[in-house]
Structure 1
Amino acid sequence: MGYTKSPIGLKSYDWSSMTLLADLNTKAITGCKKTIEARREHFWHDMNSEFDSKHFLLYLMRRSDLTLSDDFLEFACLWHLDEQNHYRGLRKINSVLYGIPESKIDEFVASRQPDFTSIDQFLIDEFSILLSIAFDEVTSTRAYRQDFPLFDSLGPRCLSVWVRNAAKDEAAHYGNAIRLLKLSHRRRFNELPALLDRIVNFETAKDFAYHSTFLFDHDTDDFSQALLASSRCAILDTLRSDL
């Protein structure tokens, strides 16, 4: 069920991974074992990235040089709740698919240390942060949609519902970021093409690597150069009338 919690119309959806996947178990999985094993790295990567929303939120809150609006803080809180819900879902999915206790997954994921050094350049102020989030979320939306057939092939209907719910959340995050950009940062829209080019060039560089930052986690083959370029175009097309 969708709901709006603020005067500025931020969108969110009320659902729980833990409730949806409560009865998921190994015996219910009927998908191809070779396919499941081949996707192990991708499932693990996606789970880590969702958890890393915690690292990103703490990074923002500790930045004494940032001035963040009340609207942005409301957006960030809704976004973080959703991403942690996704983490809990992917933790359960990884546990069931690969026989790893959820407690062990929590220990491993929490032991990783983020490094924001390489992406500080994109996180200068609220405008650049919102644009970076918008790029990340529209890309995540499309990546989850690519995975619909995979999740459908695994067997349990709850997994098909889960991935569609996650994709819908990511689309809402993208829409919310765009809403805030339009609401508060129109005067800087002339900067959009150049900054988006820098993001795409950064993520497609040969030495690109992900460092547990949540943002710019597109270092698996799920995220092709064409997909990243398409995300850039989607943002520009959405905001074209305001450029």
Structure 2
Amino acid sequence: MITPVRRDWNPSELFSALTPAMFSAEPSAIRARWDKLWPDLYTEYDARHLKQELAARNLIATDEAAAFLSAWVIDEERHTNGFIRIIELVANGSEKHLRERLGARSHDFGPITDYLKDEFSLLVMIAFDEMCTCRAYAAEKPFYDALGNNTFHHWLREIIADEAVHSMNAVNVIRARYRDRIGQVGAILDSLIRACDNLRYSGTFVLDYFGTAYSKELLANSRLATMRNIVKPLPA
């Protein structure tokens, strides 16, 4: 059985030397930071709800996918904890208040039911989604530059690397267990991209393609990268 690649880092350790006093700013700047970081936080947090939905639908059929998702949800919790700490540092947030707000949000998986038909479709969607997120985070470097501390560059590198690993872990399960369905991947990705024009994000973790980073070019490039990774020649 293939096992997921894992990365080992800790946002609490990463941010241990920083304090909110180091990032004081005018109220308008604080609000702008909050507006930028809050969606990043809640979309990462929503991984737990997707995992619960998959369990409720009894969608996971293979040991490889189960291992991937168990590792993935731990990483997404790490990202959640990191974004909470960043909002505490730069946007006048408190962990208690943030977790209360996160817990009060609703989640509707109805709009993405077509992509929750089986494990294969799910894995294709996650492989693509994590590739999109990897590239969207890479586009956020100017925001973190403006905060004025190199620790945030380290943070950005870590989460980008995590998202890339998640995409490849999903790809590896597809290539190991669904070789006979690889020909269907392109149509699924095209359907996902078309759906982006009409879907409103409803707390599902996947398809959270709002904000300026998620351009048509980013989606198209992410499709190409995901396809390339899935259809590359299999080892002899």
Which position in structure 2 is the counterpart of 1:157?
150
Q: Which amino acid aligns with 2:104?
A: S
Deviations 1:84-132 (Å, cap 9, x if unpaired)?
1000110111122221211000000011121000001011111000001
The answer to whether the 8 Å contact 2:60/2:66 transfers is: no
CA 1:96 to 1:190, structure 2 compared with 1: closer, same or farther past 3 Å? same
Summarize the alignment of residues 64-213 of structure 1 with structure 2, pairs less than 5 Å apart: 64=58, 66-205=59-198, 208-213=199-204
Shift of 1:78: 0.6
Larger displacement relative to structure 2 (30-39 or 228-237)? 30-39
C-alpha separation in 2, matches of 1:106 and 1:241: 42
Q: Which amino acid aligns with 1:224?
A: S
Which position in structure 2 is the counterpart of 1:4?
none
SS at match of 2:132: helix
Match of 1:233 among 218, 224, 227: 224
Shift of 1:62: 1.2
The answer to whether the 8 Å contact 2:54/2:60 transfers is: no
Which position in structure 2 is the counterpart of 1:12?
6
C-alpha separation in 1, matches of 2:54 and 2:173: 17
The answer to whether the 8 Å contact 1:28/1:156 transfers is: no
CA 1:146 to 1:83, structure 2 compared with 1: closer, same or farther past 3 Å? same
Shift of 1:24: 2.4
Larger displacement relative to structure 2 (75-84 or 223-232)? 223-232
Which position in structure 2 is the counterpart of 1:50?
44
Shift of 1:82: 0.5
Q: Give % identity.
A: 31
C-alpha separation in 2, matches of 1:44 and 1:91: 9
TM-score, with structure 2 as normaliser: 0.92
Q: Which amino acid aligns with 1:102?
A: E
C-alpha separation in 2, matches of 1:183 and 1:44: 36
CA 1:177 to 1:67, structure 2 compared with 1: closer, same or farther past 3 Å? closer
C-alpha separation in 1, matches of 2:130 and 2:196: 15
C-alpha separation in 2, matches of 1:240 and 1:202: 23
C-alpha separation in 2, matches of 1:81 and 1:155: 29
C-alpha separation in 1, matches of 2:52 and 2:112: 15
Shift of 1:22: 2.5
Larger displacement relative to structure 2 (130-139 or 149-158)? 149-158
Q: Which amino acid aligns with 2:98?
A: I
Shift of 1:173: 0.3
C-alpha separation in 1, matches of 2:27 and 2:152: 16
SS at match of 1:107: helix
CA 1:36 to 1:148, structure 2 compared with 1: closer, same or farther past 3 Å? farther
SS at match of 1:12: coil
The answer to whether the 8 Å contact 2:44/2:205 transfers is: yes
Q: Where in structure 1 are there 5+ consecutive unaligned residues? A: 1-6
C-alpha separation in 2, matches of 1:105 and 1:150: 21
Match of 1:223 among 207, 214, 219: 214
The answer to whether the 8 Å contact 1:131/1:177 transfers is: yes
C-alpha separation in 2, matches of 1:162 and 1:33: 24
Shift of 1:35: 6.1
Aligned CA RMSD, in angstroms, stands at 2.0
